[in-house]
A and B are shown apart, each in its own frame.
Chain A
Amino acid sequence: QKEVEQDPGPLSVPEGAIVSLNCTYSNSAFQYFMWYRQYSRKGPELLMYTYSSGNKEDGRFTAQVDKSSKYISLFIRDSQPSDSATYLCAMRAMNSGYSTLTFGKGTMLLVSP
């Protein structure tokens, strides 16, 4: 089993739809969870981060972490064509010295006008 599983998509939605992007993971030591957005021909940029379980909201974006199910989600409300990008989840363990981020494959999102 891979450490982080993420459906590569593409996921196609009409403008204004609610989008749900998800990752599952196997390492119970993961405590920090992040979502990166990567536009075509650009590097990933940090979109949201959360620590442990719970929800975090930032404008149209909501990140959820369910550690009991080892499942994280990113919701995008009122999706816009400018949200079309690849979304990568990333996570790391806590107080793990030189532990680095573990990434999912990324989900390509296409929002049509």
Chain B
Amino acid sequence: ETGVTQTPRHLVMGMTNKKSLKCEQHLGHNAMYWYKQSAKKPLELMFVYSLEERVENNSVPSRFSPECPNSSHLFLHLHTLQPEDSALYLCASSQGVGNSYGYTFGSGTRLTVV
């Protein structure tokens, strides 16, 4: 496996469910990110991890809880979500947070909250 892999690709969950999104990168990068992509809106940065330490949290509701157990893995734990949380959730990685060459993205998890 190469690049950034996200699972599952699609997820439908009820508002009372608890689920987790998984991201794995095989690039040797030391920074990882969660982004939310909604229709007609720019990518919204949710969380940034550098060397497994969270360095930025863009005022994300507590129903989203990230976890970075090591530099290759990133999780997003979800609970009591709202329908407006339905979106494409993208994971990305880079070598260094301020990397001028941009990020490598996974294919995303399409989340639908019912």
Residues of B within 8 A of A88 (CB): 43
CB neighbours of B56 from chain A (8 A): 98, 100
A105–B102 touching, CB < 8 Å: no
What residues on A are CB-neighbors of B106 within 8 Å?
A: 43
A90 at the interface (CB under 8 A from B): yes
B42 and A46: CB pair below 8 A? no
The size bracket of the interface on A is 20 to 34
Chain A interface main SS type:
loop
Q: In the assembly, what is the distance between CA of A25 and CA of B101, in Å?
A: 19
- Chain A nearest CB, measured from B4 CB (Å): 7
B90 at the interface (CB under 8 A from A): yes
In contact, A97 and B98 (Cβ under 8 angstroms): yes
List the A residue with the shortest CB-CB distance to B10.
Answer: A41
Given A88-B43, A105-B42, A96 and B105 contact (CB-CB distance below 8 Å): no
Interface flags, A32-59, vs B, CB<8A=1, else 0: 1010100001111110010100000000
Contact A36 B108 (CB under 8 A): no
A25–B33 CA distance with the chains assembled, in angstroms: 23
Additional pairs, 20, CB under 8 Å, beyond known A44-B43, A46-B101: A8-B40, A36-B105, A41-B110, A43-B90, A43-B92, A43-B105, A44-B105, A46-B102, A49-B102, A51-B100, A88-B43, A92-B100, A94-B100, A95-B98, A97-B98, A98-B48, A98-B98, A100-B97, A105-B40, A106-B42
